[in-house]
Structure 1
Amino acid sequence: MTGDHASIIHVNVTNFAASVATSRDPTLADKAFAIAREGSSRRIVIAPSRRAMEEGIHAGMPVATALRMVPSLSLISPDASACAKAESAMFEIASRYSPTIQHDSGGHMYLDVAGTTRLFGPPVDCAVRIRNEIHNLLGMEPAVAVASNKLVAKIGTRAIRPSGITQVREGDEELFLARQDMALLPGVGPTIGRLLAVAGFSDIGQLAVLDDMQVEALLGKHGLALRNAARGWDTSVVDPRHLGNRTIHKRVDFSEPAGELEALRAAMVCAAEDAGLDMRKELLACTAVHITLFWADGATSEGKQLSSHPLVLDTEILEASWKAMQQAMRRRVRIRAFTLSLQRLLPAKREPDLFTPPGPTREERLQSAVDATRLRFGPATLTHAAAVFRV
């Protein structure tokens, strides 16, 4: 990186909905409360307050469990309007320091402040100013990190949360990451985390020192990306497009134009699985699926499915994709290709009523196992039975 070197800033307001509630009602600052929706017997904690976190309450916990642990726990309904206003205010503050801002939802922002030194001083000074302005204007105390790339900055805010500021100088990435808990590394979920724990890995540095052969033996070829992340390698850029404007795109070209439903269904299964895996690797979900069919005679047609809840699992994506394809199949001509686009992306946090306490659903456990297998041995090693028709 040139210029200001470590010029990426990550701003992270931990448990954003609870922080917004506290900023609106300062009397909540020293109280144990949790944000949770009303009207469901299977409610979960969306965001706990700091005091509730100290009592062991965490996001995703069933409300019934939280109340058994802390009988005095107060429950507050989420205020979507207040959260939207707070996010807008955060973006306005950040915009004063850089035009290059990736504004993800839930109180997360990345800024690239390269080239702004003459205006605002070193990047860490910008980070301090942004943090102070958010605190002064909104009453929230974010965790803010400065690093040479988004990955290290993200781990930096995770390491100091719920609040504070840290700087990782360019060249010090591996040294900083080496002593951090493995759970802070993006991409280490429950399945991979358990595998690494069984192998005796607790710190990110233990994974970083493995050579290619050792990583592939432990995690398969896709584990190389995780090992590279453990070394602090990240070439992704700060994307100023809103998360909802980004897409995950897959194209399937048939060797011969296809018309049989079995062949089309098998191809759709493969495309949905590959797109879903790419999406979940970025910890995202989608609420729209778009299909474009390319007919043998040169014509095109489109179909789209919208969802009121986030789509995360392959089964959900496949169902929406197939419906969209059926919408587009309005002609009796064979199909030479199609594209599948996952749209309206958002962080992969399911709506509360989609969780089954006390843990994940059977489908979610199965999806986690499938993802781990395909990440370790390759996407083609495990697929839906329908895909065999494509062979």
Structure 2
Amino acid sequence: MDRDVLHINVSAFPIGVERVKDSALRERPVVIAPANSPRAVALSVSREAYLEGVRKGMPVAVARKFCRGLIVIPPNEPLYRKAAAALQTYLDQYSPLIEPWRAGHLFLDLTGTRRLFGPAVDTGAKIQKELKARFSLRSAVGLATNKLVSRVASRVIRPRGVCDVFPGGERVFLAPLPVEVLPGIGEAAEVKLSELNIGRVGELAGISPEHLFLAFGSLGYRLHRYALGRDDSPVRPAERALAIREEETLAEDSNDDRVVLGVLYLLVERAGRRLRQVQHRAGMVRLELTYADHVSAWRQVRLTDPTDLDGALFGAAKRLLESVWTRRTRVRYLGLSLKELSPEPRQLRLFPEAAAEVKERGLVAALDRLRSRFGEAALRYGRCPPMPQKELRGRG
């Protein structure tokens, strides 16, 4: 039995949410960017700003040169989390199998719902209309037999519309598209594909998996399956607690290990504190990095033992930084996400590890209490970047 997998793509989701709150922002060029640094980069870009030449990861100062009427709004993560939760609650009526991929992007498995809601393509069109009517959010919808093809379909049909890829037509649908639409193609793989003169998915599908293995290792087999439109991964419902995210634009671009690690530790402290406030632990850590030349990269790792302690989280984040920071170019931005959150009770290790964990837990609890009472600037490790003077004055 063929699956019916729907992918909902709300492009520039944070901007869509901001426009619901302030209707004056509609049809205007808007970007989301941190307000605490003159070197901030655009984290989300509206279609109007994109058409003016503004791109995600571009410094705001540069973006203003492309678009003089650009409106810059600081990120409001609590608002976006609330909107994402409301969106998923609404979609629960259509399927119990909903997987949030990232903000404004969700997979729904509609297999077996035809007798309740009719054909899956009609359900997708209905959801799209209701998102516009109830949430004022414009979306693109992709429908296919698997997550890979449905995600590509929603990307092809943007900024709005419904793209239905019939069962058995996955390879034909993907063939004329650029290879960049496939997951797993990072900067290194893209360069190698270019050297091999492979620019379209159809060209990639025509190469034997054995030859792709010689060029890309185990990634070659996966790329061959994706090029054929094959993806057996299930739609996995996530925990109701959404990922915790912290981000920071460096005051100045830097390739100094101490500076970048200091910013990373600051992000871990903030994220860890929020994690403990909701009494959850993280099972996955994701790190995003943007260089001064706007090139971005990311890595993520699943933790063997889910945790809410800063020491373990920083250890994982530091290893991710070492693997993702592969260029000599200076770093401009770091984003840290804690995912796969679970409220289950922690299981302490046997002695002597348990004693060390209890000691660290007591320390972070004391730090959390101090910062809750006196603010983030009340107590900081020496490795963290200095707090801006205006924030220090505000804490007094």
TM interval, short-chain normalised: 0.5 to 0.7
Aligned: 1:122 with 2:129: no
Q: State how far apart, in whole Å, the 2-side matches of 1:133 and 1:308 are.
A: 44
Which residue of the partner structure matches residue 331 of structure 1? 352
CA gap 1:16/1:205 in 2 versus in 1, 3 angstroms: same
Which residue of the partner structure matches residue 313 of structure 1? 320
Aligned: 1:9 with 2:6: yes
Aligned: 1:68 with 2:65: yes
Which residue of the partner structure matches residue 38 of structure 1? 35
Query: Contact 1:43/1:62 (CA < 8 Å) preserved in 2?
Result: yes
Aligned residue type for 1:232: G
Query: Contact 2:285/2:303 (CA < 8 Å) preserved in 1?
Result: no
**CA displacement at 1:105 relative to structure 2:** 3.2
Within-5 A mapping of 1:147-166 = 147-166=144-163
Aligned residue type for 1:123: A
1:110 match: secondary structure: strand
Higher RCO (Cα < 8 Å, 6 or more apart): 1
Aligned: 1:222 with 2:219: yes
Query: Contact 1:104/1:243 (CA < 8 Å) preserved in 2?
Result: no
Query: Contact 1:110/1:150 (CA < 8 Å) preserved in 2?
Result: yes
Q: State how far apart, in whole Å, the 2-side matches of 1:221 and 1:49 are.
A: 37
Q: State how far apart, in whole Å, the 1-side matches of 2:57 and 2:240 are.
A: 23
CA gap 1:10/1:315 in 2 versus in 1, 3 angstroms: same
**CA displacement at 1:88 relative to structure 2:** 1.9
Aligned: 1:179 with 2:176: yes
Aligned: 1:113 with 2:110: yes
Which residue of the partner structure matches residue 195 of structure 1? 192
Aligned match of 1:238 in 226, 235, 239?
A: 235
Q: State how far apart, in whole Å, the 2-side matches of 1:245 and 1:29 are.
A: 27
After the TM superposition, list the runs of 4 or more consecutive aligned residues in structure 1 that deviate by more than 3 angstroms: 243-246, 282-286, 288-292, 306-312, 314-317, 327-332
2:312 match: secondary structure: strand
Q: Provide structure 2 residue ranges, at least 5 long, that are not aligned to the other structure.
A: 244-283, 290-296, 325-347, 354-396
Aligned match of 1:18 in 15, 19, 25?
A: 15
Query: Contact 1:215/1:223 (CA < 8 Å) preserved in 2?
Result: yes
2:65 match: secondary structure: helix
Aligned residue type for 1:192: A
Which residue of the partner structure matches residue 252 of structure 2? none
Q: State how far apart, in whole Å, the 2-side matches of 1:310 and 1:76 are.
A: 28
1:119 match: secondary structure: helix
Q: Provide structure 1 residue ranges, at least 5 long, that are not aligned to the other structure.
A: 247-274, 293-301, 318-326, 333-391
Aligned residue type for 1:205: G
Within-5 A mapping of 1:372-391 = none
Give RMSD over aligned pairs.
3.4
Identity of aligned residues (%): 30
